[in-house]
Amino acid sequence: MNRTEMEMSGPGASRHSRTVKRRQWGRLRQQWKLLGLFEIDQQHEFYSLTCMMKEGLFAAVQNTIDNPLPDELSEDDYTLEVTQIHKDFRMDTYAGPVFASLRRSLGMTEKEYQQSLSSEGSYLQFISNSKSKADFFLTNDKRFFLKTQSKREVRFLLSNLRIYMEHLEKYPHSLLVKFLGVHRIKIAHQRMKYFIVMQSVFYPDDRITARYDIKGCEVSRWTDPAPKGSQIIVVLKDLNFEGQFIQLDQQCPWLLRQVEIDTAFLQTLNVLDYSLLLAHQPLHQDELSQSLSFTALIMRAKKSVNATSSPTHATSPTVPGMVAEEDFTLLSSELNTTQCHVTEMHNGNGATDIASPEEDKIEQQSRVGTESADLQTFQAQNRRLLPNFKNPLHVIDGPEQRYFIGIIDIFTVYGFKKRLEHLWKRLRHPRQTFSTVSPPAYCHRLCQWVQDHTK
């Protein structure tokens, strides 16, 4: 036995093993420290890039402001590519009018969108336990995500943009993440970077108590929670959620149906490996009431998409769920006027009928019954719109908890490589469920997961 072999089999080997373990543990601790949100200050490696993104996005949105949208989108709008030259880079914007149209349908003004993307506050970097090689950035107000994408992924999105828009138009409360812009930035002597802008599913996140990334399977679907009392943001997975339920009560059928609709759409795109993002937080005391008047429900819904009524822009604090007295009186008046108009017009020709007391009583009972049914439908289908903050399209209120739910990462096509991966995982993980399965199987399994974990 030579000297090296003696050292490796003696006390030195033990010390070497302990040193390796300490280094591994040190790297693991460092990874834990990195999880979460970090301000991209002047010392950050992405500071220069994000400053260029801000400048480029400001100009891109300004171009939309200066060139108002047409009444109807044309085929050219879907293929439009606008290049803007800046001092140290150039920015390409794809299908600008299409994404501006989507932003408008979500109740955003272009000035509001521009201000959020290019405010003086630094972007935030989000580092997660995801296997994705993409870089994630958040605007300073946390409303919008910016994510780097591959050229293939961007091409896939743009090639399916029309049917994506048609789906959102048909199902305005779709759980699919809302893509708000696609861009490419080119910096001298560097590789081009493609990135997309998305609406954050977890907004506002002030009181969120837990976050999950759900794929409906078992293999590699556990994440160690953050240490107790830690400020680290950890996105948990399927196995972490076992034993829990999404408590929606009367909203349950709506959610199950919408998940079926959205995943069926993704199946037509032949994609898999998408995730259902899920987070929850307790409701405020005033939000626990399920017996709000129809007027109050509509007013809260109006406030949720009204750019001027957000707590972000309010001069005084607002309480979620509260309706200002003057707004309530005004809307009540509007509703009463509308009801009178409908009563006058009920014969179909605009003439006013003079009904007998008995006829009027029967009609009033019928109208009350109709309004009661409408109220039940409104509560069942649209309670998710009620929180008093902007564009809560990914928000659903249950009896006690507010849930943030959205479907993300829809770019993985079930091609040759994924088919091979499926065969390998079948051998590697027998009798276990894993993420790489055919799109129909993936769709069915995620729907089943939601059904099994919602009540």
Provide the whole-model pTM.
0.74
Contacts of 138 (CB under 8 A, 6+ apart): 37, 123, 124, 125, 126, 144, 145, 146, 200
- Tally Cβ neighbours within 10 Å of residue 171: 15
Contacts of 58 (CB under 8 A, 6+ apart): 114, 117, 118
Q: How far apart are the first and last CA of the chain?
A: 68
Contact of 236 with 225, CB cutoff 8 Å: yes
Contact of 413 with 250, CB cutoff 8 Å: no
Contact of 282 with 184, CB cutoff 8 Å: no
In sign, the C-alpha dihedral spanning 215, 246, 176, 286 is: negative
Contact of 126 with 34, CB cutoff 8 Å: no
CA distance linking residue 121 with residue 326, whole number of Å: 35
What are the pLDDT digits (tens) for 190-247? Answer: 999 999 999 999 988 888 999 999 999 999 999 999 888 777 888 999 999 999 999 9
Low-confidence ranges of the chain (pLDDT < 70): 1-35, 129-130, 286-287, 289-392
What are the pLDDT digits (tens) for 365-411? Answer: 555 555 555 545 544 444 455 455 565 678 888 888 989 999 999 99
CA distance linking residue 274 with residue 257, whole number of Å: 18
Would you state the torsion angle of the CA atoms of residues 236, 242, 243, 248, taken in this order, to the nearest 10 degrees? 70
CA distance linking residue 283 with residue 403, whole number of Å: 10
CA distance linking residue 115 with residue 390, whole number of Å: 15
CA distance linking residue 318 with residue 312, whole number of Å: 9
- The residues with which 184 forms a beta bridge, in sequence order, are 92, 194
- Tally Cβ neighbours within 10 Å of residue 157: 19
Contact of 401 with 283, CB cutoff 8 Å: yes
